[in-house]
Amino acid sequence: MIMASSPELAAAIARNWSNPEEASLEDAIQVLAIWRGLFHIWSNAHRQHLNGTLDPAIFESVVQEMSTYAKASSDDQTDNPVEWRNRQMRWAWNSERFLFNPDFKTFLDDTIGLDD
């Protein structure tokens, strides 16, 4: 919803799909904020799952979302939106990872296939 209602955010994401490391400061602030919000949602779901207060089917859908966003295609096409999303998510996670608790960091790293 937020991207659909914010042309500025949608434009910042689109401008930086292929190489988020080169985003302007203004674009980076917007793009990192949207990813940070998503990471917080995932972190909250993970904590609820660990506490046994989240329906397992809901948690499975959250894990599916994480995995889908992090999925890399088998070919390295620079114009492939799946690759762009993968690069942007990993760039944002590398930037924002320090904000989250160790359990979630390990979980998300494992889910998206990152090595420490």
Residue 84 and residue 27: Cα distance in Å, rounded?
Answer: 16
Residue 61 and residue 81: Cα distance in Å, rounded?
Answer: 21
Q: Give pLDDT, residue 115.
A: 61
**What is the tally of structural domains in the chain?**
1
CB under 8 A, 24+ apart: contacts of 6-15: 9/34, 13/88
Question: 113 vs 4, which has greater pLDDT?
Answer: 113
Q: Is the pLDDT assigned to residue 70 strictly greater than 80?
A: no
Residue 98 and residue 90: Cα distance in Å, rounded?
Answer: 13
Q: Give pLDDT, residue 114.
A: 72
Q: Which two tokens stand for residue 40?
A: 């917080």
Convert the pLDDT of each residue in 84-101 to its tens digit. Answer: 788 888 999 999 999 999
pTM of the model: 0.84
Residue range(s) defining the domain that contains residue 50: 2-112
